[in-house]
Amino acid sequence: MPTSRAYVAKSFKLATTISALIIILAMALSIFIYLMPNKFQLGLLITIYQFSNEILFIAFIFIFLFIIFKSYRFIKTTDSPSEELMKMSPAIIIWLCIIFYGSIFFINDTDCKNYKYNETLNGGRKEFKGKKYLINICGSGVSDNDLFGSSMDRVQMTVLNEQEEVLAKRNYKIFWDGGPGLDPIEISQDSIRYRDDSDPDGEPRTLTMPPSKLDWIAARFPIFNLLIYP
């Protein structure tokens, strides 16, 4: 039977194959969009950008179902699943760490040093139900390159308590050339309301204050935060 090292090597080989397929598909899509008439390019790019969270969610579901299927086959075809699972544990731990830290790198690309919007979008020190909080609103810069640009800025709103512990995070997009997303966040007695320009409906979203335990957990796992609060 395979050893722990063999399982790690096999997992990296599978990941390499999947990554190669994703790159090929991305390149094919890029070429297809590039060859399209200009009047269709912008509309398709904006549509892909607006539904990026939904596309990520669907991809996550397919990956999850694939893992469930492989696990089912593994249990059915292995004489001692518990023993083999112990051998697989190093590979599982390695990939969990890669997914966790990779999601932080790829999802949270905001830059509070160069793109801090507290003054513009009504962030800063606020008070809810007698307790003080700090609301930081940071962006990542406008994406406006010819092929993949959408003139939108990916923004992250972070809520911290007086001890500067992160309590909640929300990700949304702003179209700086105009639109409802430029409205500052709205502060009420028990909530924060904000607008996401990538939302086709344009309806304001709400963060209840103080944030819940689920908000606290989601703030520490970027991929889950994106899936729970797209």
Q: Where are the domains of the chain?
A: 4-107, 124-228
Could you tell me which residue, 94 or 149, shows the higher pLDDT? 94
> How far is 184 from 154, CA to CA, in rounded Å?
15
Top pLDDT among 75 and 149 is at 75
Using DSSP's 3-state secondary structure scheme, residue 58 falls into helix
Share of the chain above pLDDT 70, in %: 81
pTM score, whole prediction? 0.61
Q: How many residues does the chain have?
A: 230
Note the pLDDT of residue 86: 82
Contact 207, 159 (CB under 8 A): yes
- Rg of the chain over all Cα atoms, to the nearest angstrom: 21
- What digits encode the pLDDT tens for the residues 122-170? 999 999 988 999 999 998 876 544 444 456 788 899 999 999 999 999 9
> Band of the pLDDT at 191, cuts 50, 70, 90?
very high
Identify which has the larger pLDDT, 193 or 141.
193
Q: Is the pLDDT of residue 177 over 70?
A: no
Residue 116 is classified by DSSP as: B
- The mean per-residue pLDDT over the stretch 60-80 comes to 77
**Does residue 39 register a pLDDT over 60?**
yes
H/E stretch holding 91: helix 81-107
pLDDT band at 58 (very low <50, low <70, confident <90, very high): confident
* Buried/exposed code over 87-124 (b: 16+ C-beta within 10 A; e: otherwise): bbeebeeeeeeeeeeebeeebbebeeeebbbbeebbbe
pLDDT(80) > 90: no
Tokens of 172: 């949304």
For position 218, what pLDDT does the model report?
87
pLDDT bin (cut points 50, 70, 90) of residue 38 is confident
**DSSP-derived secondary structure letter, 184:** P
Answer whether residue 102 shows pLDDT above 70. no
